[in-house]
A and B are shown apart, each in its own frame.
Chain A
Amino acid sequence: MRILLVEDDRDAAGYISRAFVEAGHNLTHAADGETGKHLAESEEFDIFILDRMLPKLDGLSLLKQVREAGNNTPALILSALGEVDDRVEGLRSGGDDYLTKPYAFSELLARVEVLGRRAGNAEAETTLKVGDLELDRLSHTVHRAGEKILLQPREFRLLAYLMQNADRVVTRTMLLEKVWDYHFDPQTNVVDVHISRLRGKIDKDFETQMLQTVRGAGYKLASSGGD
């Protein structure tokens, strides 16, 4: 994936660059807003990662200008400002996701991969299919290998989100944000319990365990088991 990182903190930029390259991505770095904007306008990227506070042109203004020019490349905003207000403002400026510093790289990687490979508009598709698992949003039904699986409404949304992002790591925070619309971390491991219940329903009677735990990062719904 071609990533444009606009970040003025050299240490952070260097660390992020190395980590993304190690994860198999192609990263271009700009140290200030104007260079970033120039790059965003002249080259093709799959995703922008923008710091909010940048010299010359701040991240939100950069994004607004790029969006006004008709560029809809997904953008993730990095910020030291973590309040809900700030997040709302970030998303309103055309951001697709918002991550507060400091963050674990695994969190950033998971979010970037989910955002950058947002193939078409999976959220609008009425049926999702991953491996032998099928989900129908209209009839609210889930089948695995033809067998009907009964899910609670929230489990249904959880599974739908996992299926949209099949084969990608999704973190607990991402699930809390997207499935429950909460932007805080409960101390209790609530998400883990929901995942294990869901796993009990979709994987229990099957050989292949689709819903996998990725250590230190989150979960992944794998289309083919075992990898």
Chain B
Amino acid sequence: MLARIRSLLRVTAVRLSIIYTIIFGLLAVGIVAYMTGATVNVLRSQFEESINQEIVGLSRIYRNSGLRSLIGVLERRSRRPGANLYVVTNPSGEIIAGNVPRLEPGIMNRTGWSRRSFRYSRYGDGSDGNHRAVARVLEVPSGIRILVGRDIGELEEFREVVGRAFKLAIGTMLALGILTWFFVGRRALKRIDQVSKSSVRIMGGDRSERLPVSGTGDEFDRLSENLNHMLDRINRLDDGLKQMSDNIAHDLKTPITRLRNKADNALTLTDNPEAQADALEEIISDCDQIVKTFDALLMISRVESGSQVARMGEVDIHELLTDVFELYEAAAEEQGIDLKLEAGKLGRIIRGNRELLSQALSNLIDNALKYAIVSDQSATITLATEQRDSGLGIIVSDNGPGITAEDRTRATERFVRLDKSRNKAGNGLGLSLVKAVAELHNGNLFLEDNNPGLKVVLLVDREEAMANG
């Protein structure tokens, strides 16, 4: 139980609510004390004011009309409901008139305001001096003293009522506070415990486990949701990595086995030096191909990790397209393919990496040259740009056989080659690199239907693009 409470105290919500309760309580005490004090003072000064007026009036009556008429006035006033206290004493100190049978001794000895409240008795009260009052004593010539006072029971009562109400309020507040801490804290603890349990299961290798989401959309839910998204992403990356290492194993094993067989074969060609040289050359070119595959993989992971960002500069899209177009035009023509550059509104400068964008574009054209040709029609490859809502699209489209809708997503994955026979040169990494380059430029890679053919859109984000003049 103690440990439970201790762990409750470690919950931030509980700690904060305790601190707030204390601060609030102190403030409330202060305010209530100030208010009661001020109210009491106001009432008191009202008493004093009325007593002052009355005592001055009474002394005037005594001076003008003598003791008898003073006593008469006092008798009348004493009978009014809620009357003040009146006492008249003779020079020897005996009470000769008034509505107070007994007073605390010594009160009549001092003239002026009583320094503190004093006890007195009332007629018909029976009890003994249990009322309290404040009063002013005035001595008139011939030694007669007049006391006018006021019972302060009301004030005391008021103070008491406030005090009781206050205690009740503080008590309720504390009780509610403790209850709230308990429930809030317990709930928070419970959620945290659930999250830790799930995390332990995830760390234990259960990759499908997710953090609980209560559905209330509170901060715990938001945290859990984000962590769950993170886990999803990690899983996807992990799957991708597994898929890729399988693919690497497969894609490299095949050429290495072939290489080994070729080397084996070259060994047997000792009596035919020319054939042996040819075999060795073939082996070297196979090795180069393997190295290229590795380089491409490294390049992709470098681009994906964004380590090239440092070299982002200004790239003129028109120049970029023109340069690549010019590099490929002759080669395309040689293959009987019409490579076109559609110079529309090309005057755009974006922030990017010329080398990577060129390589991406070159990969796209390589692909188009490889796959666009269908025997019975003239093939055309078009380079263009297109302003889209989501950014600037660099487009490479062809009128070849295209890619079916379901294959399009798969096409950009590493090592995926839609051509099952794999009889065209290539390592299945071309589009992966293009996608990585697009993402480096805050964009994306889309494969679309060109009706007929394939339309590849290398999107560069609009925010990265700035208008050129």
Contacts and interface: CB of A to CB of B under 8 A. Distances in A.
Tell me whether A and B are bound partners: yes
Interface of A: 82-85, 88, 100, 102, 104, 154, 180, 182-190, 192-194, 197, 216
The residue in B302, B353, B430 that gathers the most chain A C-beta atoms within 10 A of its C-beta is: B302
Nearest to B427: A187
Interface stretch (B86-94, B169-177, B326-334, B407-415): B326-334
A132 to B, nearest CB: 26
Nearest to A184: B359
Contacts of A85: 307-308, 310-311
B10 to A, nearest CB: 48
B393 to A, nearest CB: 22
B209 interface: no
Contacts, number: 64
B180 to A, nearest CB: 58
A71 to B, nearest CB: 29
A186 B307 contact: no
B302 A197 contact: no
B415 to A, nearest CB: 16
Given A183-B355, A184-B359, A216-B281, A190 B328 contact: yes
17 contacts: A83-B299, A85-B307, A85-B308, A88-B311, A100-B295, A104-B288, A180-B323, A182-B355, A183-B355, A184-B355, A186-B328, A187-B426, A187-B430, A188-B328, A188-B366, A188-B369, A189-B331
B291 A102 contact: yes
Nearest to A88: B311
B362 interface: yes
A189 B295 CA distance: 19
The residue in A102, A186, A193 that gathers the most chain B C-beta atoms within 10 A of its C-beta is: A186
B115 to A, nearest CB: 92
B302 A83 contact: yes
Contact of A190 (B310, B331, B355): B331
Contact of B425 (A83, A185, A187, A216): A187
Interface of B: 281, 284, 287-288, 291-292, 295, 298-299, 302, 307-308, 310-311, 323, 326-328, 330-331, 334, 353, 355-356, 358-359, 362-363, 365-366, 369-370, 425-426, 430
B302 A187 contact: no
B398 to A, nearest CB: 14
A84 B308 contact: yes
A185 B292 contact: yes
Contacts of A82: 295, 298
A154 B329 CA distance: 12
Nearest to A84: B355
A206 B362 CA distance: 35
Nearest to A182: B358
A53 B188 CA distance: 55
Given A182-B359, A187-B363, A192-B331, 9 more contacts: A84-B311, A104-B288, A182-B327, A182-B362, A184-B359, A186-B362, A187-B366, A188-B366, A193-B330
B362 A83 contact: no
Given A180-B327, A193-B330, A193-B334, A188 B308 contact: no
The residue in A84, A100, A190 that gathers the most chain B C-beta atoms within 10 A of its C-beta is: A190
A55 B295 CA distance: 25
B265 to A, nearest CB: 20
B331 A193 contact: yes
Nearest to B365: A188
A102 B311 CA distance: 25
A101 to B, nearest CB: 9
A92 B256 CA distance: 37
A128 to B, nearest CB: 23
Nearest to A82: B295
A185 B296 CA distance: 11
A104 B295 CA distance: 15
Nearest to B335: A188
A82 B327 CA distance: 23
Nearest to B303: A83
Contacts of A193: 330-331, 334
A200 B425 CA distance: 28
Contacts of A192: 331
B311 A154 contact: no
Contacts of B311: 84-85, 88
Nearest to A186: B362
B308 A83 contact: yes
Nearest to A106: B284
B357 to A, nearest CB: 11
A85 B362 CA distance: 20
Nearest to A85: B311
